[in-house]
Structure 1
């Protein structure tokens, strides 16, 4: 797993994008990294993938410092996959099958195994129907699912998702949530960067809050979102279930269905 120690990153001599970042991804199965635009979330992901190199500090993967040689980064990316916010940034081929196959062929996987992995990955994202479709015929949400399928096919141990539900309609958003839950249940570590606080609250178990390149809060998801001052300081808003808890003095629920169950029990109790 990843562990980050005192990481600093500067784009320019006097411009700090990340300052004194300390993270331990063993603290949760689905890790949330939240913050407003410019808080450093994407820069952090680029450092984790070895695309950027810290100005100072260290990133450990499986208790070893990242190796920035070609071979070292190759091995890192066999274990860690990333899905960018814009799927166009990681789709290079004109056909869905060939695009997913690219990374697998690049590491020398047998063609029969590639065929099997692609089918399984597309089934996992509910996208088997467009296995042979040209990419340009797909919707934005479908392209996003193809990008996720590419990572699933690699059988990565950790998957970084940068704004996985951005720009999606409610149906596509729910599909992405189902995919994340499926990966989690298979033992894949998920790290999500998102502006969608309802998504983070509902699906993550540990959260880091970034503001201007610094971590201003971290902890279990319920504890982080109860700290209203820190959430607003980061330029974010509370999830709607937390708002109900604070403004209507209701118990703190993690899931919508638990609220409805509580309400039904309260109504039955009142009527009796």
Structure 2
């Protein structure tokens, strides 16, 4: 998929939003990119999509260097979809069906296939009842689901999710997490930026940590999050399961259920029932 070699992006002569970074997104199936505000996460996504062009370095997709002519970017975006942090940035039509149909019409699908894809995409995000609704009637979380449905309908192989759970209540967050896991189970490659360390720890298998446009640590999720010094340097905090490992001398659990099972086996208390 994507490989980045020594990429630098400057907004002006004094400020580097990305500073000589290299990444290989074949190192995981769900890649996390974390960092505080201003670390360069959104700028990175805009470079990957060809919205911005690197000041220095190169981006490869499927071993081919990105080209910025209209046809090349069109082909890239048929294969790579992005869901922005603010769904309003990618919802242009007043009705949900028309918005989802827009990109599909642009790639030449007929009316029948468009309808089939839209129905499947909305079903995947549990949004079947959105199909004939005006966009302005949807909640913020529902708009996020429509934005994700738009990339599902395009049948992209790689999906970039920029802060997918930002601004959502717990119920909507849980729904988005289930959608992400479902996309992964269907063979999609996913790259996520997020401030939610518990989300990244839960669903990602490889993580890059950005700080002021530089990669300060990378690796498998467990390896990255036990490096408390680098996490704090990036202005982030440890996931709660890692805090338990650090502060209570417990094993390092990857899943909440693993903690409950461990507690039940060792202390005879079923925490699964308590959690529910």
Q: TM-score, normalised by structure 1?
A: 0.98
Partner of 1:231: 231
In structure 1, how many angstroms separate the alpha carbons of the residues matched to 2:268 and 2:164? 39
SS at match of 2:268: helix
How far does the alpha carbon of each residue in 1:125-146 deviate from its partner, in whole angstroms, 9 at most, with x for none? 0000111100011000000000
Supply the distance in 1 between the matched residues of 2:219 and 2:183 (Cα, whole angstroms): 22
Deviation at 1:268, TM superposition (A): 2.7
For residue 191 of structure 1, report the CA deviation from its aligned partner: 0.2
Task: Give 1:207's aligned residue.
Answer: 207
Moved over 3 A (4+): none
Aligned to 1:148: 148
Q: Give the TM-score, by structure 2 length.
A: 0.97
Q: Deviations over 1:197-243 (max 9, x none)?
A: 00000000000000000000000000000000000000000000000
What pairs up with 1:230-249 in 2 under 5 angstroms?
230-249=230-249
Give the CA RMSD over aligned residues: 0.8
Counterpart position of 1:218: 218
Give how far 1:110 is off: 1.4
- Distance in 1, Cα, partners of 2:14 & 2:54: 15
Partners of 1:173 and 1:198 in 2: CA distance? 12
Other structure's SS at 1:26 match: helix
Partner SS for 1:82 = strand
What secondary structure is seen at the aligned counterpart in 2 of 1:12? Answer: coil
Q: Distance in 2 between matches of 1:113 and 1:67?
A: 30
User: d(CA) in 2 for partners of 1:28 and 1:191?
Assistant: 9
Aligned pairs (5 A) from 1:53-68: 53-68=53-68
> Any residues of structure 2 matched to 1:35-184 within 5 Å, and which?
35-184=35-184
1:57 match: secondary structure:
strand
Where 2:121 maps in the other structure, the secondary structure is: helix
Q: Which runs of 5+ in 1 are unaligned?
A: none
Would you say how many aligned residue pairs link Structure 1 and Structure 2? 269
Structure 1, residues 22-65: CA drift from partner, whole Å, max 9, x if none? 00000000000000000000000000000000001000001000
